[in-house]
Amino acid sequence: MSELFSIFIGLALINNIMLVQFLGLCPVFGVSKKLGPAVNMGLAVTLVIFVSSALAWLANNYILIPLKAEYLHLIVYLLIIGSMVQILELILKRTNDRLYKSFGTYLALIATNCAVIGVLLLNAKESYNFVESMIAAIGAGTGFTLVMALMSGIREKLELSNIPEAMKGLPVIFITAALLALAFGGFAGMAF
């Protein structure tokens, strides 16, 4: 049990997938201008990571490893994520139109988000069992949503502040990310 907890905390806080492992950074610079869309994006990514790591685990352990075709895992994972995103889009469109509209085009962009494929590759690299990969998926999703929410909150404040001309736009977001990473660095060395 404590091992599962440390996998969760590891990916959500100590080795936060965005700030420490640099996975899935594109939406931080693109989407995180307002708190609402940022959190929605975080939840959508969490859902996709969760479902596709379950499928990827099954594909890896029941198809690729018995056939000794592990070298194909990258292509298989890409196909799983791509089709998952398509199916999710269809289901949301039919069942919950309001939620679908609030996601907008972000949903399709998740297909090429490094956070999703990164978690799948990490799971395979650490050879986690099924429960461990599920916990890792939830941990990574939580870490992603947390950072998206924090960044968008800070960016809403930054809009109102007086920033030097050269620092406006991307540079100040990088500096903000550096300070957030410094704060998350405080979790380093925590053990359970």
Partner 1 sequence: MSGFSNQFKKGILISNPVFVLALSMCPVLAVTDTLDKALGMSGAFALVIIASNLLISLLRKTIPDMVRIPVFLIIIATFVSIVEMLFQAYIPTIYSALGIYLSLLAVNCLVLGRAEAFASKNRVSDSLADALGMSIGFCLALILISFFRELLGKGSITLFGNELFTLPGLGNNPIYIFSMSIGAFLVMGLLLAFFKWIGVIKDV
Element (H, E) at 167: none
Q: Residue 125, interface with partner 1 (CB under 8 A)?
A: yes
Tokens 């298989």, residue located = 76
Q: Residue 153, interface with partner 1 (CB under 8 A)?
A: no
Scan residues 26-65 and list those touching partner 1 (CB under 8 A).
26, 29
By CB under 8 A, name the one of 4, 51, 54, 114 that touches partner 1. 114
The smaller minimum CB distance to partner 1, of residues 104 and 171, is found at 171
Nearest distance from C-beta of residue 9 to partner 1, angstroms: 17
Give the whole-angstrom CA distance, residue 8 versus residue 133: 10
Give the whole-angstrom CA distance, residue 33 versus residue 38: 7
In sequence order, which ranges of the chain are alpha helices (DSSP H)?
2-9, 26-30, 35-59, 73-95, 97-103, 106-109, 114-125, 130-158, 170-184
Tokens 């494929």, residue located = 117
Q: Residue 173, interface with partner 1 (CB under 8 A)?
A: yes
Q: Residue 146, interface with partner 1 (CB under 8 A)?
A: no
Q: Residue 78, interface with partner 1 (CB under 8 A)?
A: yes
Question: Which residues here bind partner 1, judged by CB under 8 A?
Answer: 19-26, 29, 71-72, 74-75, 78, 82, 112-114, 117-118, 121-122, 125, 165-167, 169-175, 177-178, 181-182, 185
